[in-house]
Amino acid sequence: MTEEIKIPEEHPRAESLPIREKLIKHFKSGDVTSAGLIAHGRGEALDYILGEKTTQPALKATKAAAATLLTAKHPVISVNGNTAALTSKDIVKLSKITRAKIEVNLFHRSSEREIAIKKLLEEAEATEVLGIGEAASARIPEVGSERRRIDPKGILIADAVLVPLEDGDRTEALVRMGKKVIAIDLNPLSRTAQFATVTIVDNIVRAIPTLIKVLNKLKTKNKKELENITSTFDNKKALGEAIDIIHRRLSKLAERGVYLPILEVEEP
């Protein structure tokens, strides 16, 4: 169905195209859903507008996220299809540094997908994967259908949950359950971004490795220093700054758009 497309290095999408290909590969093997592909496209558009790089407010949020994970008693990393497809190795690294449990949590839950994603994580050397099958016997209140299922050994008792690529309903419900929620979401205006305790507005393929680096720096700090980082972090302010960056970048792109200097259009 797909033809072989060579991506020249100078192509404006040189970095995003291999990620897209990776996701499509995992779609074909059943880890990723069709809705996951569309969600990825939304992310691509927002990442393009953000400039496809980690911004200063994202770095600040990453620092707060690291401090939150390091001071948590029961940190849990919630993994969905797109996250497993794109970053399973880094997710496992992250869980080892923070001693966070890994729980599979799918919007479109099916036995086959749970097992496929568990396998991906195990191939990335995860030693324990929660939330599979009957293990997800607890429920998130006020969330519909199969999305509400959580593991009593994982998210149910977690005090901090990292949710890359989560939906708004669940994020809101987890916050209502009293948990600190760390979201990774390219849309600073999404319900997930706005409800989370800490929102990293960045692409997960950059955000998770950055989080690992920051964790390695912060893990020697004492509890007081870490708590100082979390208590001085203002998520609304960081979101405002992210929106402001999008805004300024659009202004810049808009100027180019009007005058077209980058495109060297041959006038007819």
Residue with Cβ nearer its own copies (213 or 256):
256
Output the smallest distance, CB 61 to its own copies, in A.
Answer: 14
The string of DSSP codes covering 88-149 is HHHHHHHHHHHT-EEEE--SS--HHHHHHHHHHHHHTT-S--B--GGG--EE-TT--GGGGE
Place of tokens 């998520």: 235
Residue with Cβ nearer its own copies (34 or 220):
34
Distance (Å, whole) CA 82 – CA 33: 8
- CB neighbour list of residue 2: distance below 8 Å, 6 or more residues apart: 24
- Give the three-state DSSP class for 183: strand
The closest alpha carbon to 65, from 217, 177, 178, 233, belongs to 233
Chain centre distance of CA 48: 16
Output the smallest distance, CB 222 to its own copies, in A.
Answer: 25
Residue with Cβ nearer its own copies (47 or 215):
47
Residue with Cβ nearer its own copies (109 or 221):
109
Output the smallest distance, CB 34 to its own copies, in A.
Answer: 5
Output the smallest distance, CB 2 to its own copies, in A.
Answer: 5
Output the smallest distance, CB 212 to its own copies, in A.
Answer: 27
Residue with Cβ nearer its own copies (138 or 175):
175
Query: Interface residues with its own copies (CB under 8 A)?
Result: 1-3, 5, 20, 23-24, 27-28, 33-35, 37-46, 108-110, 112-113, 145-146, 175-176, 178, 187-189, 191, 194-195, 197, 236-237, 239-240, 243-244, 246-247, 250-251, 253-254, 256-260, 263, 265-266, 268
Sort strands 180-184 and 198-200 into parallel, antiparallel or unpaired. Answer: parallel
